[in-house]
Amino acid sequence: MANTLNPSGQKPILVTGAAGDVGAIGRTLTRLLLERGFGVRALVRREDERADALREMGADVVVGDLVDLHSMHAAIEGCSRLYFGMSVSASYLEAPVNTATVAKHHGVDAFVNMSQMTLSQMSITETTASPQHKLHWLAEQALNWSGLPVVHVRPTVFLEGFFLRFAASSVKRSNQLALPMGTGKTSPISADDVARAVAAILSEPAPHVGHVYNLAGPQSEDLHFYAREYSAALGRRIDYVDVPLAAWRQKLVDFGLPAHLIDHVTAMAELNQQNRYDRTSEDMQRLTGAPAMGVREFVARHAKAFGGISD
């Protein structure tokens, strides 16, 4: 039976992207909100085993598309608050504008928008080489103009991206953290920790409306430091190898990844080389009362993907 009301009789919270895989915020957020006693309406793109798993958690699952007006009316109507998150896409801007338009029509109390910390360094005259960064920045502007009760959440680099998806094979195969990150520092954070922060906001959104929260990992260090954290977690020596960006990009092309995604992650690597990701923030601690997990703990949790822990 779907849990559609929290103990106080409040309307459910809409979570978009709820069927995501490893590294997706929506699925973890759904679980956290349900554990807190809130009713959750989980928006998914299709019916599959992930949708069934959400129902087993207790969520009210609806199938829809973020850029489709009809399905977003069905998803948002009757909800008091919502979380908006979407993966990297060339059509990214349409989705938050469409969702916001419907959310304003239905009078939601809080609209939590998943953005990126890079936007803190962007303005009407300053952007990056990433087309996704520009779409995120434009989406934030549109949401601010909307008059909705918006909260922007801006995490730094996700551990599930560069430190898991893009690094697992080289760590497993050759004990190398092979990434084109130069000598710049970064403060990666896990999607699970970001979901904890969003759950805290959605649980009592009023004090947070109009705020921007920057979420970072517990430290900002270079990749040599993080290679040592991999070593400690896995029980074997892992070395950082700064691979040429052009060659790394070509591998992504050969894998058949979308050009928009390749342009985005390549730009992120370049920004890291320029030390543009050397950032820290206390917002995670302020929102949740606990710091984000570090790279060593994250690697230990995902040790199988990296070839396991040596005896």
Could you report the per-residue pLDDT of 84-125, keeping only the tens digit for each? 999 999 999 999 999 999 999 999 999 999 999 999 999 999
State how far the alpha carbon of 39 is from the alpha carbons of 2, 81, 177, in Å: 8, 11, 41
- On the question of pLDDT at 311 being above 90, the answer is no
Question: In this structure, are residues 119 and 136 in contact, taking their beta carbons and an 8 Å threshold?
Answer: yes
Q: What is the pLDDT of residues 246-292, one digit of tens each?
A: 999 999 999 999 999 999 999 999 999 999 999 999 999 999 999 99
Identity at 187, one-letter amino acid code: S
- Please, is 122 exposed, middle or buried when counting C-beta atoms within 10 Å of its C-beta (0-12, 13-18, 19+)? middle
Rounded CA-CA distance 140/116 in Å is 10
Instruction: Using alpha carbons, select from 7, 48, 43, 47 the residue that is nearest to residue 25.
Output: 43
The owner of tokens 């007006």 is 69
> 5 falls in which pLDDT band (50, 70, 90)?
very low
Report the pLDDT value the prediction gives residue 9, as an integer from 0 to 100: 65
Question: In this structure, are residues 238 and 231 in contact, taking their beta carbons and an 8 Å threshold?
Answer: yes
Q: What is the pLDDT of residues 192-215, one digit of tens each?
A: 999 999 999 999 999 999 999 999
Question: In this structure, are residues 112 and 153 in contact, taking their beta carbons and an 8 Å threshold?
Answer: yes
Rounded CA-CA distance 194/214 in Å is 10
Report the pLDDT value the prediction gives residue 20, as an integer from 0 to 100: 75
**pTM to 2 decimal places:** 0.94
User: DSSP letter at 47?
Assistant: -
